[in-house]
Amino acid sequence: MNKPTDQTLEALGAIVGPRGLVTGLDLLTPWETDWRGRYTGKALAMVLPATTAEVSAVVRLCAQRGVPIVPQGGNSGMSGGATPDASGREVILSTRRMNAIEPIDPASRQVTCEAGVVLQTLHEAAEAHGLRFPLTLGGKGSATVGGLISTNAGGTQVLRHGVMRAQVLGLEAVLPDGRIFSALTPLRKDNRGFDLKQMFIGSEGTLGIVTAATLRLVPAIAERVVVWAGTASIHAARALLLNCEQALGDALEGFEVVPQGCLESVLAYLPDARPPLARPHAWNALIEVVADAGSAASLRGRVEAAMARAFDQGLVEDAVLSASEAQAEAFWTLRESISAAERARGPAMQHDISVPVERMPDFLVTVSREIEAAWPGTRAVGYGHLGDGNIHFHVGAPAGSDRAGWEAGDGKAISRQVHDAVTRCGGSISAEHGIGQLKIDELERLGDPVALHLMRAVKRALDPAELFNPGKLVTLAPETSAP
Ligand SMILES: Cc1cc2nc3c(=O)[nH]c(=O)nc-3n(C[C@H](O)[C@H](O)[C@H](O)COP(=O)(O)OP(=O)(O)OC[C@H]3O[C@@H](n4cnc5c(N)ncnc54)[C@H](O)[C@@H]3O)c2cc1C
């Protein structure tokens, strides 16, 4: 007589076929650890359905047998949301085989695709039709449409185009009982009651498995100029942002900040990379300015004028405008390599925070100083999306620290201090990476009790047995009383 787990694996195999079931240790291991290497679990198996019908059948089977499911796309998430626990009971449901893109109709400027489509592939498909999917991020070679939707990802173009939620016109998802919620509508207006698709955007696989989406596209860029500007302080960088917003309006697509310490990490990490400016500056701003066909001719002149004004006002110490696409890409490679370069430096507590944009410079200066004074030997750096008030604030461990011990002790206390400061500023402890397992305790500690109660009510209604991504974002731990 087979063990119940063997029977479950057999039944899963019967649904998805031999290519759709992975149980071998060697093949499973890379998918049991998160991108940052902070969490490692042990899965019963990885199941890779090829269609929505297969996802539905897998979910029904798991629901009958009480098997928890961890949805996984590209496993590039930053909060441990796609990593199974250590029980060996959970099944990873990977969308990697669901990677079809329907034919794009350029006139309607939208695309319908399956959840496992990788962001880079989506960019290329849109470009082939003279269009653009207006969201990008450093993990674009791995991140999938389903993962981007489930984390409501941000990235480097939010300033102009908004987060993932703003790109989703319709979606399809499999519910925890196996039913299919089908709302792949391209409609731009639809007021038939609650906008239920929103529930799945940013819910980190706790309410449904996203299987497909209809996404908006925008016209391709005719011209872009990328500026690398050195500034003396984060306050000057913020003033430069205001100047650029005024001078460049809608053409301003991205405004990222990189402190000198992060640039040095990247230059050490990428041996062939070169610093864009002749000498170091305390802060660097990476500014992306774009134009469509109608205004391409005047773009460079407008950017040069904006930078000249910023020089005159003492906001910029030095700056270089990309002279070619290759140079523009080289600037972006420096920015997009920061996560990997910082990871290579050793243990660090990462905080993905937002505060009102105008408060960010003071926040960074004050909190960095307080943390480094209170925890000798630590190194606090903030980099990223200043344009939309979202900074990745990393605190590196003192040299020679034991990773696990430091993270569980001083590291945890540091995170609480950072999150308390964010909360005092009216900010968010998760601007774009989601809660996952990384911040579930902190959300419980600092979240609005009414909001937490509502989230549990939704979870209870859809997934009372907590089989969808248990231990991530929201759990049904008993509430003593309704707030
Ligand atoms: C170098 C680098 C730079 C990055 N930069 C940014 C950035 O600028 N902005 C940003 O927001 N993020 C960034 N990220 C994080 C990451 O790329 C995003 O969170 C992305 O959305 C994750 O997509 P994924 O397919 O890898 O999802 P995964 O990591 O596989 O999963 C993430 C979460 O979504 C759930 N999930 C995945 N697929 C589905 C599905 N089909 N249905 C339901 N739930 C699902 C998982 O259970 C998990 O909770 C970066 C990552 C890297 C490695």
Cα 26 to middle of ligand 1, angstroms: 23
Predicted pLDDT at 25: 78
Cα 481 to middle of ligand 1, angstroms: 34
Taking phi over 0 as left and psi of -120 to 50 as alpha, with beta for the rest, 91 belongs to beta
Share of the chain above pLDDT 70, in %: 98
Structure tokens at 307: 């930078």
2: pLDDT strictly greater than 70: no
Indicate the top mutation candidate among 78, 85, 90 to test ligand 1's pocket, ranked by most ligand atoms within 8 A of CB: 78
Q: Ligand 1 atom 27: the closest Cα is on which residue?
A: 147
> 118 in ligand 1 pocket by Cβ < 6 Å?
no
Structure tokens at 327: 């140079």
267: pLDDT strictly greater than 50: yes
Indicate the top mutation candidate among 137, 386, 438 to test ligand 1's pocket, ranked by most ligand atoms within 8 A of CB: 137
Cα angle, residue 444 at apex, residues 442 and 449 outer, rounded to 5°: 135
> 84 in ligand 1 pocket by Cβ < 6 Å?
no
Report, as an integer, the average pLDDT of 306-316: 96
347: pLDDT strictly greater than 60: yes
Predicted pLDDT at 241: 96
Helix 52-65 to helix 4-16 angle (10° resolution) is 170
> 72 in ligand 1 pocket by Cβ < 6 Å?
yes
Share of the chain above pLDDT 90, in %: 92
> 155 in ligand 1 pocket by Cβ < 6 Å?
yes
Q: Ligand 1 atom 7: the closest Cα is on which residue?
A: 155
376: pLDDT strictly greater than 50: yes
pLDDT band at 482, cuts 50/70/90?
low
> 343 in ligand 1 pocket by Cβ < 6 Å?
no
> 74 in ligand 1 pocket by Cβ < 6 Å?
yes
pLDDT band at 468, cuts 50/70/90?
very high
pLDDT band at 481, cuts 50/70/90?
low
Cα 48 to middle of ligand 1, angstroms: 18
| CB-CB contact of 121 with 99 (8 Å) | yes
Structure tokens at 221: 């860029």
**Atom of ligand 1 at shortest distance to CA of 34?**
29
Predicted pLDDT at 93: 98
pLDDT digits (tens, 9 = 90+) for 414-446: 999 999 999 999 999 999 999 999 999 999 999
Report, as an integer, the average pLDDT of 13-21: 95
Instruction: Report the alpha-carbon distance of residue 426 to residue 393 in Å, rounded.
Output: 16
Predicted pLDDT at 296: 76
| CB-CB contact of 475 with 447 (8 Å) | no
Q: Ligand 1 atom 41: the closest Cα is on which residue?
A: 146
Cα 1 to middle of ligand 1, angstroms: 40
pLDDT digits (tens, 9 = 90+) for 280-307: 999 999 999 999 877 778 899 999 999 9
Q: In what order do the strands lie in the sheet with 283-291?
A: 318-321, 223-231, 283-291, 252-259, 379-385, 390-396, 348-354
pLDDT digits (tens, 9 = 90+) for 47-71: 999 999 999 999 999 999 999 999 9
Domains and CATH numbers, the chain: 4-94 (3.30.43.10), 106-219 (3.30.465.10), 223-338 (3.30.70.2190), 346-462 (3.30.70.2740)
Predicted pLDDT at 478: 64
Instruction: Report the alpha-carbon distance of residue 65 to residue 67 in Å, rounded.
Output: 6
Cα 366 to middle of ligand 1, angstroms: 30
> 206 in ligand 1 pocket by Cβ < 6 Å?
no
- Which amino acid is residue 92, in one-letter code? I
Indicate the top mutation candidate among 72, 388, 393 to test ligand 1's pocket, ranked by most ligand atoms within 8 A of CB: 72
In three-state form (DSSP H/G/I as H, E/B as E, the rest C), the secondary structure along the chain is CCCHHHHHHHHHHHHHCHHHEECCHHHHHHHHECCCCCCECCCCEEECCCCHHHHHHHHHHHHHHCCCEEEECCCCCCCCCCCCCCCCCCEEEECCCCCCECCCEHHHCEEEEECCCEHHHHHHHHHCCCEECCCCCCCCCCCEHHHHHHHCCCCCCHHHHCCHHHHEEEEEEECCCCCEEEECCCCCCCCCCCCCHHHHCCCCCCCCEEEEEEEECEECCCEEEEEEEEECCHHHHHHHHHHHHHHHHHHEEEEEEEEHHHHHHHHHHCCCCCCCCCCCCCEEEEEEEEECHHHHHHHHHHHHHHHHHHHHCCCCCEEEECCCHHHHHHHHHHHHCHHHHHHHCCCEEEEEEECCHHHHHHHHHHHHHHHHHHCCCCEEEEEEEHHHCEEEEEEECCCCCCHHHHHHHHHHHHHHHHHHHHHHCCCECECCCCCCCCCHHHHHHHCCHHHHHHHHHHHHHHCCCCCECCCCCCCCCCCCCCC
Predicted pLDDT at 187: 86
Report, as an integer, the average pLDDT of 384-399: 94
12: pLDDT strictly greater than 60: yes
pLDDT digits (tens, 9 = 90+) for 249-260: 999 999 999 999
Predicted pLDDT at 1: 47
Cα 418 to middle of ligand 1, angstroms: 23
Indicate the top mutation candidate among 35, 76, 83 to test ligand 1's pocket, ranked by most ligand atoms within 8 A of CB: 76
> 76 in ligand 1 pocket by Cβ < 6 Å?
yes
> 144 in ligand 1 pocket by Cβ < 6 Å?
yes
Query: Would the pTM of this model clear 0.75, i.e. be above it?
Result: yes
**Atom of ligand 1 at shortest distance to CA of 472?**
49
Structure tokens at 286: 């990476």
